[in-house]
A and B are shown apart, each in its own frame.
Chain A
Amino acid sequence: MDERERLLVERAQIDPSAFAALYEAYVDRIYNYIYQRTGNRSDAEDLTARAFVKAFANLEHYVFRGVPFSAWLYRIAHNSVANWYRDRQRRQVVSLDALATHIRDEQKPEELAQTREATRGLLDAIRRLPADRQQLLILKFSEGLTNREIGHVIGRTEGAIKSLYHRTLLALRKDLQRKKRKN
């Protein structure tokens, strides 16, 4: 945990109003993480709010024991998403929100349809992966975390993260090929 993060956490543990600085530092990252897991803005907003309220309520119990505050926050976000899926028994679907993010304005209609279809298929396949593999891809490619930082969130070593990344790509490719054969 870097010095700035440690000071922010310690201040917020003494003075609840200082939690605002932690919120400002992490809200975009946590929102993006949850959005990538759920695929739509309204659920991402709801779950981001829940994650921050939970972090605020439990901040006094946070003690640095090798897990940085940011990793602790990602774990809360991950649990919020997991509980949400479990409670509602939702099927993970790709929403129009998610697809709109990847569509470029200058594309021709037929290219646009192809891009949309390809992105939908890939995002569907990513969201069919087990939770830890989804987490790995999102933290690596959408949040830009290093293997070490990802290891803190998922609770694995850097070496294990490298192996998991390889297995994840293999599984994803297999799933996409299977879907392609079906169609």
Chain B
Amino acid sequence: MAGHHRDLLETLDIHADQLSSGAVNDIEYPQIPPEQSCEILPLLELAERVKGALAPVTPASSYRQKLALDLARMAERRTGEDIRITLRSPGREWLVGAAIGSAMAVLGGAAYLIRTHGRARSQRASQAGS
């Protein structure tokens, strides 16, 4: 039963490939055992009708050109935006650098005050002791 099903799938697949690659009239039907033919043949015929109904279409050339132009304009705008972002970024880097510098200055000041305050306290303590 599984073998029969597999054969059926293979037959349909080979037939579909032939349909896709060539004209409907040139199809060589795969070898179908008589007991399967009543099951497969209607499906093969249906596949041929589907292939005929879904004939490919192409867009109008005016539409094609217009869309190409719209996309080219979008690409131009995007390139312009990329350049602006690149030009803006050194400013951002400068801001980040300034912020880090300021933070370091505050920390340095705080360290100096703590150290000075600590020294003064230890001097007072040693004077009081002597």
Chain A contacts to B: CB under 8 angstroms: 15-17, 19-20, 23-24, 27-28, 31-32, 35-36, 41, 44-45, 48-49, 52-53, 56, 101-102, 118-119, 122-123, 126, 137-138, 140-144, 147, 162-163, 165-166, 169-170, 172-173, 176
Contact = CB atoms under 8 A, between A and B. Distances in A.
Contacts of B43: 166, 169-170, 173
B18 to A, nearest CB: 12
B51 A141 contact: yes
Interface range for B: 35 or more
Contacts of A170: 43
Contacts of A166: 8-9, 12, 43
A122 B50 contact: yes
Contacts of A142: 54-56
Interface of B: 8-10, 12-13, 16, 19-21, 42-43, 46-47, 49-60, 63-64, 67-68, 70-72, 74-76, 78-79, 82
B75 A173 contact: no
Q: Counting chain B CB atoms within 10 Å of each CB, which of A23, A32, A169, A176 scores highest?
A: A169
Nearest to A19: B75
Nearest to B45: A173
Given A16-B74, A27-B64, A122-B49, 8 more contacts: A16-B78, A16-B79, A20-B71, A23-B71, A28-B58, A102-B53, A137-B50, A140-B16
Nearest to A147: B13
